[in-house]
Amino acid sequence: MTILAVETSCDETSAAVVRDGHVLSNIVSSQVRLHAEYGGVVPELATREHLRNFLPVAREALRTAGVAATDLEAVAATQGPGLPNALMVGLKAAQALAFALRKPFIGIHHHEAHLYSPWISGQPPVAEFSAFEPNVSLIVSGGHTMLVHVHSELKHRLLGCTLDDAAGECFDKTAKLIGLPYPGGPEIDRLAAHGNAAAYEFPRPLLREPGDDFSFAGLKTSVRYFLQKNPGMLEEPQRVRDLCASVQAAIVEVLVTKTIRAARRLNVNCVTASGGVTCNSALRRELAAACQQERFALRLAEKSLCTDNAAIIAVLAERKLLLGSEATNPDADIAPNWALA
Ligand code: KG4
Ligand code: ZN
């Protein structure tokens, strides 16, 4: 099956073509520079950029894949959750294309696409659902932090999520306090590589409490108080690196410990992780070490598939059709607050 998908839920305009699990193209136009000036995504600007970028990105996805629009057998788009007007651009364009081609349209849940993204790998990427195992999956991004029990392909149950800030938000807001550019996650990762993670002690929220929920707002606030008590430390580069490493260690310890604990409790042999924060080198390293110790298989989404992109939307849409899911109503509306089941 040859399928085109588009993703416009936040600040990436992306289109991808997938055929029989093979990613033929995955074009991503990032707006990160545009929003950097404001220290976060400005929804109105994101929508305008999606409108400007959508057609060139979709054409490039078809051109790179060597596929004509008339070769497409289905068209998919992220239906939610996400920024309402941003979602609207991709969804309505995809529905119009499906209508013009008289092909099925499939609306995809953004987090469900992240959830199954660790099963796509290789260069060029190929979906490997033949190796699928029941797993506990960590989805960790700028907007979300959640743990999911995946029983079998397309059958999953949300275990817990963040009660306030997402882990990526904690990285980004902490970075802002330190004076680092947006998005701060990759900056903290880079500086932490040369820092001492044991230099400063920060809270590990909800680490010892039962349950699979997360909370990161208090950790960010503790960094603010720490900086108020230690004025001038930001002028000392090594102390900044130590601070980055210490904050990163707190976030990563919470994510890894709670993921492993859920996997043990639910008696699965496999752990997966996806979403933008899964690019973090300490998280990748610590998850690998913990899984090796516990003898869990580990599947981390490839870095290029961690941040938002349309290939993960296309792969999931194709799997859904192959496994018998019905096409979405071609007039379906966006679902900005769609919760993962
Ligand atoms: O999945 P994503 O592209 O967008 C959302 O759906 O939110 O994730 C973006 C988030 C940002 O918070 C960014 O700072 C974070 O992922 N991120 C990282 C790293 N790379 C991206 N956080 C920590 N370390 C990284 N290397
Ligand atoms: Zn995402």
Residue 333 lies in a domain: no
CATH of the domain at 233: 3.30.420.40
Residues 104 and 207 in one domain: no
Same domain, 51 and 196: no
Nearest to 105 by CA among 90, 115, 84: 90
How many residues can be counted in the chain? 341
Distances (CA, A) of 159 to 28, 82, 143: 31, 21, 17
User: What is the whole-number distance in angstroms between the Cα of residue 239 and the centre of ligand 2?
Assistant: 32
289 and 141, same structural domain? yes
340, part of any domain:
no
Shared domain for 149 and 171, answered yes or no, is yes
Nearest atom of ligand 1 to the alpha carbon of 167: 12
Verify that 283 and 195 share a domain, yes or no.
Answer: yes
pLDDT in the model for residue 301: 98
Res 40: pLDDT = 86
pLDDT of residue 37: 87
Residues 204 and 288 in one domain: yes
Sign of the four-CA dihedral 26, 252, 259, 87: negative
Query: Which regions in the chain score pLDDT beneath 70?
Result: none
Q: Are 10 and 82 in contact (CB under 8 A)?
A: yes
In this structure, how many other beta carbons lie within 10 angstroms of the beta carbon of residue 264?
Answer: 12
Q: Name the residue of 26, 32, 141, 256 to mutate for ligand 1: max ligand atoms within 8 A of Cβ.
A: 141
Separation in Å, CA 81 to CA 110, 140, 222, 297, 303: 6, 15, 30, 29, 22
Pocket probe for ligand 1: among 11, 109, 174, 279, the residue whose CB has the most ligand atoms within 8 Å is: 279
Ligand 1 atom closest to Cα of 9? 6
CA of 306 to the centre of ligand 2 (A): 8
User: Do 221 and 234 have their domain in common?
Assistant: yes
What is the tens place of the pLDDT at every residue in 35-79?
988 888 899 999 999 999 999 999 999 999 999 999 999 999 999
Q: What percent of the chain has pLDDT over 70?
A: 100
Measured in Å, residue 80 CA sits from the centre of ligand 2 at 10
- The domain of 213 spans 133-301
- The predicted pLDDT at position 222 comes to 98
Helices (H), the chain: 32-36, 43-65, 84-101, 110-116, 167-178, 184-192, 217-229, 237-265, 281-294, 303-306, 311-322
Whether 190 and 292 share a structural domain: yes
pTM of the model: 0.96
